[in-house]
């Protein structure tokens, strides 16, 4: 997964965030009871964008590291299929983790059944 594909998956969240920042800027700028200087507002926006960029980049690296587990093929031996996938960071990754681990468990059960029938 590239960084741009990750951003394209999060595009609606990013647009909503930018819209929210612009709305807060508009409210602060038009509020008659507070004197806000444009340079201060710009400074606040730059800080928020830097913090948000650091957050998005960090989430990308965590997600990328977790998804790289799936890019390497697994050996179909019985010992490798019994190893569960671990390390999910989000609810979506936990959902995938539970599903894939149940598939691995089902394949392990089927392999054991086939092996026991062959031994009989």
Q: In the structure encoding, which two tokens stand for residue 28, read together?
A: 């602060």
**pLDDT tens column, 62-79:** 888 878 877 766 665 555
Best CA proximity match to 114, nearest among 80, 83, 78: 78
How far apart CA 68 and CA 60 sit, in angstroms, is: 12
- What's the predicted TM-score (pTM) here? 0.65
pLDDT interval class at 101 (50, 70, 90): confident
What is the percentage of the chain residues whose pLDDT exceeds 90? 30
The pLDDT-based confidence of 37 (bands split at 50, 70, 90) is confident
Structure tokens at 41: 């507002």
What DSSP string describes the chain? --HHHHHHHTHHHHHHHHHHHHHHHHHHHH-TT----HHHHHHHHHHHHHHHHHHHHHHHHHHHHHHGGGTSPPP-SHHHHTSPP----SHHHHHHHHHHHHHHHHHHHHHHHHHHHHH-
CA–CA separation, 81 vs 106, rounded Å?
10
């Amino acid at each position: 997964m590239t960084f741009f594909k990750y951003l394209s998956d999060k595009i609606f969240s990013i647009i909503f965030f930018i819209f929210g920042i612009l709305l807060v800027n508009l409210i602060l700028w038009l509020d008659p009871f507070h004197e806000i200087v444009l340079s201060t507002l710009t400074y606040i926006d730059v800080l928020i964008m830097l913090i948000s960029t650091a957050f998005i980049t960090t989430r990308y690296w965590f997600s990328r590291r977790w998804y790289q587990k799936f890019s390497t093929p697994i050996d179909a031996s019985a010992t490798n299929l019994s190893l569960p996938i671990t390390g999910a960071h989000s609810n979506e990754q936990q959902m995938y983790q539970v599903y894939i681990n149940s598939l691995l468990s089902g394949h392990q059960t089927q392999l054991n059944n086939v092996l026991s029938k062959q031994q009989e």
